[in-house]
Chains A and B, each alone.
Chain A
Amino acid sequence: MARAFSIRRQRGFTAIAMTCFFALYLPIAVLVFYSFNAGESLAAFEGISLRWFAQAFENQQVIDASIRSLQIASVAAIVATIAATMAALATTRTEPYRGLTLKYAFINQPLMIPEIVTAVALLIFFARIKIWTGYSGLGYLIAAHTAFCIPFAYLPIRARLENMDLTLEKAAADLYATPWNAFRYVTLPLLWPGILAGFMLAFVISLDDVVITEFVKSAGQDTLPTYMLGQIRRTITPEMNAISTLFLLLSVCVVTVFFIVNRKRV
């Protein structure tokens, strides 16, 4: 029997899409699967074991790097989200004014330039400052992360603001809310999901960063990704798989929350 004609169908597209999803998840699945391998080789699966996870948890370098990653990501994401929220309020829902385009360009600039270029620029700049001030703490990494997190935090917040019904604030003003009260009781609660989404994006982006961190970090300031990069370049043990699996799990959790928050319309 002939298949009913569907205007949406294109021959072969479904097959390609399926292959695509398969190809996207197969390497990740292999990676996760072998993190539970009792043996060392990818050629043979020698039974399930948590041995590599245990090894990772005993590795002081991994623990230090993880804590550092989380510290940097938390601070950078919080600062970036606050700055991005303020910037979004300043750049939406207005007639164009002088400097508005400049602001857009500035805020999105970290997205436009290849990461390696920014990394090199920061390497040069911070090397100077380190010499001048003698300070070589985490501040440099936090500043760099905050800067490239801002455009990511800005995106969902701005989108949310632009979709917000302006008459709601008018209604609040009509009902005796001062501008501050209108912001606090109407704008902010409605903006909240956007701010949360922006924070999570910024957090994940900071957590994932390799290139800029690799160039900016001082000795002994490895984050988890730069530690992993160093290891992968030297010797690969299934411990890497275990660490990757845990990292993936964290990312999936954050992304899931982001997805739910961002999809939900009030």
Chain B
Amino acid sequence: MTGVAGTIEAEKSRDIRKRWLLSLPALLIILIAATGPLLIVLVYSFLTPGPYGDVQWLPSPDGWISVVMEKDIFDGTFSLADAHVSIFIRSVVLSLATTVLTLLVGFPTAYFIATRPEKTRELWLFLITIPFWTNLLIRTFAILEIIRNEGLINGLMLKFGLISKPVQMLFTDGAILTGMAYVYLPLMVLPLYASMEKLDFRLVEAGYDLYATPFKVLRKIIIPLVKPGVVAGSILVFIPALGAYVTPSILGGGKNLMLGNLIELQFGQGRNWPLGSALSITLMLIVMVALLVYVRNAGSQGSRHG
């Protein structure tokens, strides 16, 4: 009797040991080349900048202080670092605007795809998937080609005499917003589609049966039912938008910085690795908060349906 029970226990622990062994390579690679270095960033944020980049091993809170404060060179007093604060604000506002814009366009698009007949649906989905997996740099470049001073729009307008000199569209916040909305749109559509695909249209029928207008059906039935998709899509757009580096550096130029560019600056010309590290961790914390909101939202959704 105990013999059999013993075998089961042994079997179980052998299985778990095998499972640890199997997952070891993936865990090690990620530990070494992703998670582990994050801890070093934390350490670096409390050190003193070296003269030519890198750090000196002297503990210092300056990195963290400089995230939002500025030390006056002459009298050593602190004041709010307007430049950094405005970059923080720009990053958050642009990311939120990107999220809202992609949601406004992405929702009807996902709905459109989800309501296609089985056969054509695959095709539409495919058309969204292609930009999803094509190079973000190339897609940003495509936008650049259209809006730069020598680009398509200005070129055509000049040619037809609508304007006499190019309109400056590049290197503006509008350019960054357009670019980010463009490159992150597929990230919004795909999760939205995933939850709309599961939408039970008998519920929509029931709504119409009970005298709801199409708009009311949308507001009271469809949107609440696909809310997990809305939340997932928003998070998937917001997080990379907040940390965006390529798009703002190409379309925003040297002046319209976002957080990603500010961080890069500290490791390049700024030569202030501790500040760069502190900014990175700040960015990570904001993202964590956003993820937490998502997890809690998704959790409550799950329990309500389960």
Q: Interface on A for B, CB 8 Å cutoff?
A: 7-14, 16-17, 19-21, 23-25, 27-28, 30-31, 34, 41-44, 79-80, 82-84, 86-87, 89-91, 94, 97-99, 103, 106-107, 109-110, 112-125, 127-128, 143-144, 146-148, 150, 154, 201, 204, 207-208, 210-211, 215, 225, 228-229, 232-233, 236, 240-241, 244, 247-248, 251-252, 254-256, 258-259, 263
Complex-state Cα separation, A263 to B141, whole angstroms? 31
B98 interfacial by beta-carbon distance below 8 Å: no
Contact of B89 with A by CB under 8 A = no
Asked if A208 and B127 sit within 8 Å, CB to CB, the answer is no
Q: Judge if B61 is at the interface, Cβ distance under 8 Å.
A: no
SS class, residues of chain B in contact with chain A = helix
Decide if B198 is an interface residue (CB 8 Å cutoff). no
Q: How far is the CA of A74 from the CA of B232 in the complex (A)?
A: 31
Which residues of the partner chain B approach A97 to less than 8 Å between Cβ atoms? 16, 19
Which residues of chain B come closer than 8 Å to A106, judged between CB atoms? 26-27, 30-31, 35
Which residues of chain B have C-beta atoms less than 8 A from A263's C-beta?
A: 122
Contact status B280-A150, CB under 8 Å = no
Provide 8 A-B residue pairs closer than 8 Å at the C-beta atoms, listed in order of the A residue. A11-B214, A21-B109, A43-B158, A90-B19, A124-B273, A154-B26, A225-B137, A251-B133
B192-237 residues with Cβ-Cβ distance < 8 A to A are 201, 204-205, 208, 214-215, 218, 222
A110 close to B34 (CB less than 8 A) = yes
CB pair B141–A117 under 8 Å, yes or no, is: no
Chain A residues touching B, majority SS = helix
Q: Are B34 and A229 in contact (CB under 8 A)?
A: no
B54 in the interface (beta carbon within 8 A): yes
Q: Which residues of B contact A (CB under 8 A)?
A: 15-16, 18-23, 25-27, 29-38, 40-41, 44, 54, 105-106, 108-109, 111-113, 115, 122, 124, 126-131, 133-139, 141-146, 148, 150-152, 154-156, 158-159, 182, 185-186, 189, 201, 204-205, 208, 214-215, 218, 222, 239-240, 242-243, 245-246, 249-250, 259-260, 263-264, 267, 273, 276-277, 280-281, 283-284, 287, 291
